[in-house]
């Protein structure tokens, strides 16, 4: 099919042309004296993305699931008690992983479409007088349902309970797209994946560990080999890895980080919020609802859209793919067939999102869902235009303090 494929799943995301070009490199000796010139700045730049000054970053050749496993096995021991909220497929899978490596997981079942409830975590930690609970596991952004949880509120709840548990956060579909503050929220282990906001192919599981987490490593008894922090710490100190790294991915990561910093992270977060809000305006215009139960849960990286009774979201996805070269996300587990998902993260702009909305409208119409063609696109266009016009009306710093003059700025 001519033209570009429209990839609007919540990961993998579009890889910018600059990043693709950066990854086309000849293989080289990853033990050469020059190799640290590539790797050492990556560790420091990733800390800026996590918003951490004293954390330590690990780059594993894996997916985000490998980051989950690394975070848990390096800091906990078999039989340790942990608390985790389950409200979607990916929070479920992290819980499953924790159970399979021998942790004692207290699962907090939440309605799908909602997220982590800080008050519940506070109550459980307050009741744990002997401080047997070693960790709290939270998914910041649950892509199955399009839900974002408030990690800052979780930290406040833990502090209010006076508990010493470590805080673990899955930021796979949020870090690099949604605000994340490792140091401010005192997150101990944060996990990211290369194929989401970092705009790379899948293949890197990235973990940032606090000093408390590194201290916990010294006594953790879970078995690990490939994901061992100790091996990484020794090799990374001089810019190397304990095994062969994914070389082209590292070059791609360097370029992706340049792109993020050129735009500035705060602007990246703002752009994602605007794109997500435009999608939600479209959903409203279609007469449909997001899976997220309220605005407090809305995700800025993915919207899961509930299809009307009698329809199957998988049919919408199939029509979009076969007829319009558009990939939408499928409903998973409890919401399989009940939703389709529009991913709006990474290398995207307003017009790209409008194209995806147009394809989704056509696909819904094709399978018999009663939507008015152009309604969602029009609503999104109106929203995007309003945000652009509002920005253009804001005075620049120079205009606020003086008037522009051909020869410079003259005080007003």
pLDDT of res. 403: 45
Task: Report the relative pairing of strands 6-8 and 189-193 from DSSP bridges.
Answer: unpaired
Going by C-alpha positions, the residue among 303, 268, 302, 278 that lies closest to residue 289 is: 303
CA distance 46 to 279: 29
Domain 17-262 class in CATH:
alpha beta
SS3 for 118-176, per residue? HHHHHHHHHHCCCCCEEEEEEECEECCCCEECCHHHHHHHHHHHCCCCEEEEECCCCCC
Work out the burial of residue 53: count CB atoms within 10 Å of its CB; fewer than 13 is exposed, 13-18 middle, 19 or more buried.
exposed
Domain limits, the chain: 17-262, 264-392
Tracing tokens 């991913």 back to the chain, one arrives at 343
The DSSP 8-state label assigned to residue 4 in this structure reads: -
Task: Give the largest CA-CA distance in the chain.
Answer: 72
pLDDT of res. 401: 53
Q: In Å, what is the CA distance from 154 to each residue of 125, 160, 381, 395?
A: 11, 10, 36, 37
pLDDT of res. 390: 87
pLDDT of res. 398: 54
Tens digits of residue pLDDT in 180-238: 999 999 999 999 999 999 999 999 999 999 999 999 999 999 999 999 999 999 999 99
**What is the three-class DSSP state of 191?**
strand
Going by C-alpha positions, the residue among 302, 380, 316, 378 that lies closest to residue 346 is: 302
pLDDT of res. 241: 98
pLDDT of res. 397: 54
pLDDT of res. 160: 98
pLDDT of res. 404: 44
Tens of each residue's pLDDT in the chain, 412 residues: 789 999 999 999 999 999 999 999 999 999 999 999 999 999 999 999 999 999 999 999 999 999 999 999 999 999 999 999 999 999 999 999 999 999 999 999 999 999 999 999 999 999 999 999 999 999 999 999 999 999 999 999 999 999 999 999 999 999 999 999 999 999 999 999 999 999 999 999 999 999 999 999 999 999 999 999 999 999 999 999 999 999 999 999 999 999 999 999 999 999 999 999 999 999 999 999 999 999 999 999 999 999 999 999 999 999 999 999 999 999 999 999 999 999 999 999 999 999 999 999 999 999 999 999 999 999 999 999 999 888 887 665 555 555 444 444 444 3
What's the length of the chain?
412
pLDDT of res. 410: 41
pLDDT of res. 239: 98
Q: Which residues contact 4 (CB under 8 A, 6 or more apart)?
A: none
Cβ-count burial 324-344 (b if 16+ within 10 Å, e if not)? bebbbbbbbebbeebbbbbbb
CATH architecture observed for domain 264-392: Alpha-Beta Complex (3.90)
Q: How far is CA 87 from the centre of its chain?
A: 16
């Amino acid at each position: 099919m001519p033209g570009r494929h429209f990839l609007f799943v919540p990961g993998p995301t579009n890889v910018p042309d600059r990043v693709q070009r950066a990854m086309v490199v000849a293989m080289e000796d990853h033990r050469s004296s020059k190799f640290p010139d590539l790797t050492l700045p990556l560790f420091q730049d990733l800390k800026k993305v996590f918003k951490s000054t004293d954390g330590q970053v690990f780059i594993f050749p894996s997916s985000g699931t490998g980051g989950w496993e690394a975070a848990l096995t390096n800091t906990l021991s078999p039989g340790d008690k942990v608390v985790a909220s389950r409200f979607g497929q990916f929070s479920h899978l992290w819980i499953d992983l924790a159970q399979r490596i021998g942790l004692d997981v207290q699962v907090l079942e939440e309605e799908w479409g909602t997220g982590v409830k800080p008050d519940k975590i506070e109550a459980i930690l307050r009741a744990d007088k002997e401080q047997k609970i070693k960790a709290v596991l939270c998914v910041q952004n649950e892509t199955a349902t399009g839900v974002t949880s408030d990690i800052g509120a979780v930290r406040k709840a833990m502090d209010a309970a006076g508990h010493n548990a470590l805080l673990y956060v899955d930021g796979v579909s949020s870090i690099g797209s949604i605000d994340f503050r490792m140091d401010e929220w005192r997150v101990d282990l944060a996990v990211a994946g290369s194929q989401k906001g970092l705009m790379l192919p899948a293949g890197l599981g990235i973990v940032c560990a606090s000093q408390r987490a590194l201290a916990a490593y010294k006594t953790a008894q879970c078995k690990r080999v490939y994901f061992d922090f100790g091996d990484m710490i020794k090799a990374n100190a001089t810019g190397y890895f304990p095994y062969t790294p994914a070389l082209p991915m590292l070059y791609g990561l360097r370029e992706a980080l340049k792109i993020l910093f050129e735009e500035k992270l705060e602007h990246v977060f703002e752009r994602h919020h605007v794109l997500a809000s435009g999608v939600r305006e479209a959903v409203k215009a279609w007469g449909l609802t997001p899976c997220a139960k309220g605005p407090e849960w809305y995700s800025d990286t993915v919207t899961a859209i509930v299809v009307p009774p009698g329809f199957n979201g998988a049919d919408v996805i199939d029509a979009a793919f076969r007829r319009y070269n558009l990939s939408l996300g499928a409903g998973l587990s409890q919401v399989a067939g009940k939703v389709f998902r529009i991913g709006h993260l990474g290398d995207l702009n307003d017009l790209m999102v409008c194209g995806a909305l147009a394809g989704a409208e056509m696909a819904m119409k094709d399978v018999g869902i009663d939507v008015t063609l152009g309604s969602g696109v029009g609503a999104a266009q109106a929203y995007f235009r309003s945000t652009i016009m509002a920005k253009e009306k804001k005075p620049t710093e120079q205009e606020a303090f003086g008037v522009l003059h051909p020869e410079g700025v003259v005080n007003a």
